[in-house]
Amino acid sequence: MKVFAFHLMPYAALDMSYAEKYSSVWLKLPNSYFDPKIGYELYNRYLDELELAAELGFDGVCVNEHHQNAYGLMPSPVVMASALAGRTGDAKIAILGNAFGLREHPLTLAEEHAMIDCITGGRLITGMVRGVGCEYFSMGANPAYSLERHIEAHDLVIRAWTEEGPFAFEGKHYHFEYVNTWPRPYQQPHPPIWCPSQGSSETIKWAAHPDRKYTYLQTYSAFDSVLRYLNSYRAAARDLYGYAATSKQIAWCTPAYVADTDAQAIDEARPHIQTMFNKLLPKISQSMFVPPGYMSNESMKQIFAHKATLRGGQTIEDMIARGVIAVGSPDTVRSILIERHRQAGFDHLLLMPQFGTMPGELAEKNIRLLAAEVIPALQTLNDDDYIGFEPAAAAAE
């Protein structure tokens, strides 16, 4: 198994009295709440944290894209991936993901990913996401075309990376007379492509297609939902496409916090994880996160069902009970994660060692302890430790 350190880079110093006037930290929370001097410290601290993780043996580090909000300060994960390029040794750098279809010119991202792939000698992982609903307000992109544009942007980028230029791309949403990308990616045919998702059935089916077989990353949810979605990816491969997905196509992301004892870990993590989930995370109940046309009605209903538990007011105990997060002593967390792997068989595990308002000392302590006491055991796990798809699916029913 490969274990990554994932960072959202939140504005951890947010003045919490914002909640008296604003219902969300997304889109409409005035950017006057952002103090650049604090931003400077936070960014460098967060980069230090990821570099530390790489140094201490995590297989890779991950960043992602969100606009105009205090939840994640990386409207451009390309900037972060570039900043990490020369300072992460052999670790992979995963952009999970960029929203290619939000752009009018997705080739810009293709160029940037190719540059980073060349600079790092092939350590980049390219995540392609549709972008959460709120980005469609920020970017002025039409949510009704989200899936179409995502697919067409993907096709454009794959061709740009693999087909000799110059060629014309004549799509519905994208039309370019001269596609001739310099540089080309280092990895052949291109960096591995991952699809992070909250559980969209369209994404799952698209990613599992035999032409693509993209690694599907389920983002933080109650674990029974996680399992259901990861299994539906395996099911799609088997039933729709007639092949057995490998565990390399399966990935899970979870906030993880360790301390000497369970009680201490829960105590230390509590205020920060609760802030993250209750204040910072997008609230599916709010229409800005599910603009019209963003997802099919079927998907909408499914997501609402499993995200109901992520709506405000959760305690850390709830989250632990539902398996949304892994918090405890190194032994506890190690066992939890080994058990999760036994059930779901993911070959890629993304741990988020900093969340919400968590200060630097705790984040660093967490990373060190995870690296020393938890991940070595995880990195030895493979399909031998996985109960396998059929029993898992049967057990789930």
Partner 1 sequence: MNVFMFHLMPYAALDMKERDKHPSAWVTLPNKLFDPKIGHELYNRYLDELELADELGFDGVSVNEHHQNAYGLMPSPVVMAASLARRTSNCKIAILGNAFALREHPLTLAEEHAMIDCITGGRLITGFVRGIGAEFYSMAANPTLSHERHMEAHDLIIRAWTEEGPFAFEGKHYHFEYVNMWPRPYQDPHPPIWCPSLGSTETIEWAAHPDRKYVYAQNYSPFTNVCKFLDQYRSTAQDMYGYEASSSQIGWTAPVYVADTDEQAVAEATEHMEALFNKFLYLPFETLFPPGYLTAQSYKRVASHKRGIMGSQTMEALIENGVVIVGSPDTVRKKLIECHEVLGFSTFVALMHFGTLPADKTERSMRLFAEEVLPAIQPLSDREYRGFEPASAAAE
Partner 2 sequence: MADCTESKIDIRGCKIHMRRGGTGDPALFLHGAGGIPGWIPAFQSLSESLDLMVPDHPTYGLSDEPEWLDDMNDLAMFYLDMLDELDLNGVHLIGNSLGGWLAMEIAVRSSTRIKSLTLVGSAGIRIKGKPIVDIFMMDPDDLVRELFVDQTIAENILGMNLTEEQTDIQLRNRVSTARLGWQPRLFNPNLRKWLHRIKVPTHVIWGDTDRIIDPVYAAEFGKVIAGSQVTMIEKAGHLPHIEQAETFVKAVSGFIQSKAA
Residues that bind partner 2 (CB under 8 A): 168, 170, 172, 175, 177
Looking at the Cβ atoms of 112 and 152, the one nearer to partner 1 is: 112
Q: Residue 37 or 172: which CB sits closer to partner 2?
A: 172
Residue 11: contacted member of partner 1, partner 2, none (CB under 5 to 8 Å, by partner type): partner 1
What whole-number distance in Å separates Cα of residue 96 and Cα of residue 370?
21
Per partner kind, with CB cut-offs from 5 to 8 A, the member of partner 2, partner 1, none near residue 170 is: partner 2
Q: Which is nearer to partner 2, 177 or 211 (CB)?
A: 177
- 279-314 burial code (b ≥16 CB/10 A, e <16): bbbbbbeeebbbbeebbeeebeebbeebbeebeeeb
Q: Whats the size of the chain, residue-wise? A: 397
Residue 35: which residues within 8 A CB-CB, separation 6 or more? 13
Closest CB 281 distance from partner 1, rounded Å: 16
Considering CB distances under 5 to 8 angstroms, the limit depending on partner class, which of partner 1, partner 2, none binds residue 228? none
Cis peptide upstream of residue 97 (ω within 30 degrees of 0)? yes
Cβ distance to partner 2 smaller for residue 177 or 361:
177
Distance in Å, CB of 78 to partner 2, minimum? 25
Minimum Å distance from CB 105 to partner 2?
11
Minimum distance, C-beta of residue 160 to partner 1, in the bound complex (Å):
9
CB of 178 to partner 1, least distance (A): 5
Binding site for partner 1 (CB under 8 A): 11, 27-32, 34, 36-37, 39-40, 43-44, 47, 67-70, 73-76, 78-80, 82-83, 85-87, 103-105, 108, 111-112, 115-119, 121-122, 137-140, 164-166, 175-178, 180-186, 188
- Alpha carbons 34 and 189: distance in angstroms, whole number: 41
CB of 377 to partner 1, least distance (A): 32
- 172's contact among partner 2, partner 1, none, with CB below 5 to 8 A by partner kind, is partner 2
Residue 300 binds: one of partner 2, partner 1, none (C-beta under 5 to 8 A by kind) = none
What gap in Å lies between CA 137 and CA 195, rounded to an integer?
A: 22
The first and second tokens of residue 234, run together, are 């395996």
Kindly report the CA angle at 197 between 192 and 202, in degrees rounded to 5? Answer: 95
284 contacts 29 by C-beta, under 8 angstroms: no
- Chosen from partner 1, partner 2, none, partner binding at 168 (C-beta under 5 to 8 Å by type): partner 2
**Measured from the CB of residue 70, what is the shortest distance to partner 1 in angstroms?**
6
Q: Which is nearer to partner 1, 188 or 264 (CB)?
A: 188
DSSP helix/strand/coil, 176: strand
Residue 104 or 260: the one with the smaller Cβ distance to partner 2 is 104
| Distances from the Cα of 242 to the Cα of 199, 213, 214, 236, 268, angstroms | 21, 12, 16, 9, 47
Q: Give the side-chain half-sphere CA count within 13 A for 253.
A: 28
- Cβ distance to partner 1 smaller for residue 44 or 315: 44
CA distance 362 to 60: 21
The CA distance from 276 to 70, in Å, is 10
